[in-house]
């Protein structure tokens, strides 16, 4: 006897909020075995839980470490549910972003958080990691046909790399097609305006709002 | 009381000012690796900044590398930083090697410290805290998860790091270091949150500094990153004490003048060397 869809969706959502990976894995398997739609499991279960975690983060009830653990649980569930998405859902084009920490800097916690929040919000993110050579942002964006690039750094000595990326996108004639979003400890709206980026956000929740605003998604 | 965060501006990237590079004619990244170049560079930076002490090393990767992390030494523009993690398994942290002061960059840094001290310089040595070190050895996501899922492994890992850092402090002091600069910006309140921050003070920072206090002689002092100072104060493990200075002076000079008068300082960042303490008051930190 399978649990009701609603009960399993709640377990998926709660498992993410409570950072309980094992519970999410178990609930995801049961959900699929019961024959419920994978898409609903992802959106109304896992993503719902991650959205709740984002709200708790925004309200300072949760902290970076909590959100990272919530996302681990969410990704475990996604690994199980995603292969069961109908082809038209799996192949549906999403707004695509390239994200990374600029060359010279290895502080990637903030970047990881932004990536998680953007993925939860429905963006497809290509993560280049940390200490990323500046040309890689441009070449990857070009290769995958990205709609936006997210650049992060925590160090004043490496923030100049953000301007280089903006300039190289211009040189490649891509600047009109690709939005540039920046963030990190020493970054400000003023710096964003100075280097000609499209937007700055001070945290991961704001980054999602900014991306939605700039990229006109619902 | 609760922990207050210190908003770090991270004006601390590794890398060397162009003027200094041209003046010293040093080759990079070699200058980050051998003691003679390190000493020359540290001295030139001190002169350039009109500072009261030389500071080594030029990055926060020294301990992590000595424990097995792979480092990208970079160049004069962007200095050493982590390249590859040692492992992705939290259990592997239990078998990391001990710090070997006789080889590698660790030995070179200590030689440079010794040389500079013999030359009559005050020598400051950066000591990295556990999250800065672990961030080079393993993706911190695994560490955060382990605090929840395998706290006993993290407890043992922190104990191991504490023992190693105390050995490092003892060895460095023997080699002439008279100013220790301790910080762990990767483990700040903004990242860990209040609960884990408190736990780290209990499990690591307070016991480390309690023992360090016994090691640090009357000829040495330890400057704490304000993130660490605020964490200690916020958990009632330490208190501030105002100390009157002989005259109004720059923060770096005041730190040197406090050697022998206090064990710990930490009201501002060590980078804030030129800040003038106009009211002739410096705050020492007394562990409770």
Cβ pair A104:B74 closer than 8 A: yes
pLDDT for B106: 97
pLDDT for B10: 52
Is the pLDDT at B211 greater than 90, yes or no? yes
What tens digit of pLDDT does each residue of B175-194 get?
Answer: 999 999 999 988 888 889 89
Is A183 in the same domain as A102?
Answer: yes
Is A42 in the same domain as A139?
Answer: no
On the CB side of B254, how many CA atoms lie within 13 Å of its CA? 30
Is A209 in the same domain as A107?
Answer: yes
DSSP run (H or E) holding A96? strand A96-101
Query: A53 by DSSP, 3-state: which?
Result: helix
Cβ pair A65:B10 closer than 8 A: no
Q: How large is the average pLDDT for residues B20-28?
A: 90
Cis peptide, bond prior to residue A127, ω within 30 of zero: no
Total-model pTM: 0.90
What tens digit of pLDDT does each residue of B261-274 get?
Answer: 999 999 998 888 88
| Binding-face residues of B in 65-84 toward A, CB within 8 A | 72, 74, 77-78, 81-83
- Interface check for B150 against chain A (CB to CB < 8 A): the answer is no
Q: A189-198, B13-22, B63-72, B163-172: lowest mean pLDDT where? A: B13-22
Q: Give the residue from chain B lying closest to A132, CA to CA.
A: B83
Final residue of a structural domain among A30, A60, A90 = A90
Final residue of a structural domain among A90, A105, A131 = A90
pLDDT for A218: 45
Is the pLDDT at A217 greater than 80, yes or no? no
DSSP run (H or E) holding A127? strand A124-127
The sign of the dihedral angle between the CA atoms of B199, B200, B201, B202 is positive
Final residue of a structural domain among A60, A90, A120 = A90
pLDDT for B13: 53
Is A133 in the same domain as A53?
Answer: no
Is A63 in the same domain as A106?
Answer: no
On the CB side of A53, how many CA atoms lie within 13 Å of its CA? 33
How many domains would you assign to chain A?
Answer: 2
Q: Are A124 and A55 in contact (CB under 8 A)?
A: no
Cα separation, A107 vs B66, in Å, equals 20
pLDDT for A164: 97
Domain limits for position A188:
96-215
Is A172 in the same domain as A143?
Answer: yes
Is the pLDDT at A179 greater than 90, yes or no? yes
Is A208 in the same domain as A105?
Answer: yes
Is the pLDDT at B145 greater than 70, yes or no? yes
Binning pLDDT at 50, 70 and 90, where does residue B11 land? low
Alpha helices in A42-151 (DSSP H): 48-58, 64-81, 87-90, 109-120, 134-144
Smallest Cβ–Cβ distance between B191 and the set A64, A72, A157 belongs to A64
Is A77 in the same domain as A110?
Answer: no
Is A81 in the same domain as A104?
Answer: no
> With pLDDT > 90 as the criterion, what percentage of chain B qualifies?
83
Binning pLDDT at 50, 70 and 90, where does residue B6 land? confident
Is A30 in the same domain as A130?
Answer: no
pLDDT for B173: 97
Residue A199 belongs to domain with CATH number: 3.40.50.280
Cβ pair B81:A69 closer than 8 A: no
pLDDT for B14: 58
Cα-only R_g, chain B: 18
Q: What is the mean pLDDT of chain B?
A: 93
> With pLDDT > 90 as the criterion, what percentage of chain A qualifies?
80
Is the pLDDT at B9 greater than 90, yes or no? no
Binning pLDDT at 50, 70 and 90, where does residue A156 land? confident
Residue A61 belongs to domain with CATH number: 1.10.1240.10
What tens digit of pLDDT does each residue of A15-73 get?
Answer: 999 999 999 999 999 999 999 999 999 999 999 999 999 999 988 899 989 999 999 99
What is the CB neighbour count within 10 angstroms for residue B88?
Answer: 10
Supply the angle between the helices A48-58 and A5-17 in degrees, to the nearest 10: 40
| Residues forming beta bridges with residue A98, ordered by sequence position | A126, A149
Is A33 in the same domain as A82?
Answer: yes
| Residues forming beta bridges with residue B244, ordered by sequence position | B281
Is A49 in the same domain as A107?
Answer: no
ipTM of this complex prediction, to 2 decimal places = 0.83
Smallest Cβ–Cβ distance between A69 and the set B9, B144, B192 belongs to B144
pLDDT for B8: 73
- Interface check for A131 against chain B (CB to CB < 8 A): the answer is yes
Cα separation, A96 vs A113, in Å, equals 17
Q: What is the 3-state secondary structure (H, E, C) of chain B?
A: CCCCCCCCCCCCCCCCCHHHHHHHCCCCCHHHCCHHHHHHHHHHHHHHHCCCCEEECCCCCHHHHHCCCEEECCCCCCCCEEEECCCCCHHHHHHCCCCCCCCHHHHHHHHHHHHHHHCCCCEEEEEECHHHHHHHHCCHHHHHHHHHHCHHHHHHHHHHHHHHHHHHHHHHHHCCCCEEEEECHHHCHHHHHHHHHHHHHHHHHHHHHHHHHHHCCCCCEEEECHHHHHHHHHCCCEEEEEEECCCCEEHHHHHHHCECCECEECCCCCCCCCCEECCCEEEEEEEC
Q: What is the mean pLDDT of chain A?
A: 93
Q: Which residue has the higher pLDDT, B135 or A91?
A: B135
Q: Which residues of B touch A191 (CB under 8 A)?
A: none
Cβ pair A131:B72 closer than 8 A: yes
pLDDT for B19: 87
Spell out the residues 6+ positions from residue B265 whose beta carbon is closer than 8 angstroms to its own.
Answer: B221, B222, B223, B224, B255, B258, B282, B283, B284, B285
Q: Which residues of B touch A202 (CB under 8 A)?
A: none
What tens digit of pLDDT does each residue of A100-155 get?
Answer: 999 999 989 899 999 999 999 999 999 999 999 999 999 999 999 999 999 999 88
What tens digit of pLDDT does each residue of B103-144 get?
Answer: 999 999 999 999 999 999 999 999 999 999 999 999 999 999
Q: Give the residue from chain A lying closest to B14, CA to CA.
A: A157
- Interface check for A56 against chain B (CB to CB < 8 A): the answer is no
């Amino acid at each position: 006897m399978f649990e009701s869809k609603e009960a399993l969706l709640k377990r998926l959502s709660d498992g993410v909020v409570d950072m309980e990976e094992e519970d999410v894995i178990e609930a995801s398997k049961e959900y699929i075995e019961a024959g419920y739609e994978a898409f609903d499991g992802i959106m109304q279960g896992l993503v719902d839980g991650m959205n709740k975690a984002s709200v708790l983060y925004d309200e300072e009830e949760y902290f970076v470490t909590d959100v990272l653990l919530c996302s681990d649980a969410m990704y475990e569930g996604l690994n199980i549910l995603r292969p069961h998405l109908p082809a038209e859902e799996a192949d549906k084009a999403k707004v695509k972003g390239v994200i990374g920490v600029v060359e010279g800097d290895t502080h990637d916690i903030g970047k990881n958080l932004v990536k998680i929040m953007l993925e939860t919000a429905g963006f497809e993110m290509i993560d280049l990691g940390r200490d990323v050579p500046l040309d890689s942002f441009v070449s990857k964006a070009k290769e995958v046909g990205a709609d936006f690039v997210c650049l992060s750094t925590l160090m004043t000595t490496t923030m100049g790399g953000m301007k280089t990326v903006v300039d190289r996108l211009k040189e490649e004639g891509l600047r009109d097609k690709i939005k540039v979003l920046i963030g990190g400890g020493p970054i400000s709206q003023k710096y964003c305006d100075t280097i000609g980026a499209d937007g700055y956000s001070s945290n991961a929740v704001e980054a999602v709002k900014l991306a939605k605003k700039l990229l006109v998604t619902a | 009381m609760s922990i207050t965060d210190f908003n770090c501006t991270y004006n601390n990237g590794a890398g060397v000012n162009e003027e200094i590079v041209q003046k010293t004619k040093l080759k990079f990244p070699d200058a980050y690796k051998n003691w003679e170049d390190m000493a020359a560079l540290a001295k030139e930076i001190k002169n350039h900044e009109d500072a009261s002490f030389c500071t080594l090393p030029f990055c926060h990767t020294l301990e992590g590398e000595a424990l097995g992390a792979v480092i990208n030494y970079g160049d004069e523009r962007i200095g050493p930083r982590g390249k590859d993690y040692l492992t992705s398994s939290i259990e592997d942290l239990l078998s990391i090697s001990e710090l070997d002061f006789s080889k590698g960059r660790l030995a070179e840094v200590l030689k440079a410290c010794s040389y500079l001290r013999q030359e009559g310089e005050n020598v400051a040595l950066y000591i990295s805290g556990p999250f800065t070190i672990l961030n080079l050895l393993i993706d911190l996501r695994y560490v955060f998860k382990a605090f929840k899922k395998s706290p006993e492994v993290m407890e043992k890992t922190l104990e191991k790091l504490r023992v190693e850092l105390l050995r490092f402090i003892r060895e460095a002091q023997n080699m002439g270091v008279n100013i220790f600069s301790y910080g762990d910006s990767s483990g700040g309140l903004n990242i860990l949150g209040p609960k884990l921050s408190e736990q780290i003070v209990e499990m690591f920072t307070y016991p480390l500094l309690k023992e360090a206090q016994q090691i640090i002689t009357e000829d040495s002092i330890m400057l704490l990153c304000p993130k660490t100072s605020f964490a200690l104060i916020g958990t009632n493990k330490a208190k501030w004490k105002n100390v009157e200075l002989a005259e109004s002076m720059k923060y770096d000079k005041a730190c040197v003048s406090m050697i022998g008068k206090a064990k710990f300082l930490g009201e501002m960042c060590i980078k804030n060397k030129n800040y003038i303490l106009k009211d002739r008051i410096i705050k020492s930190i007394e562990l409770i």
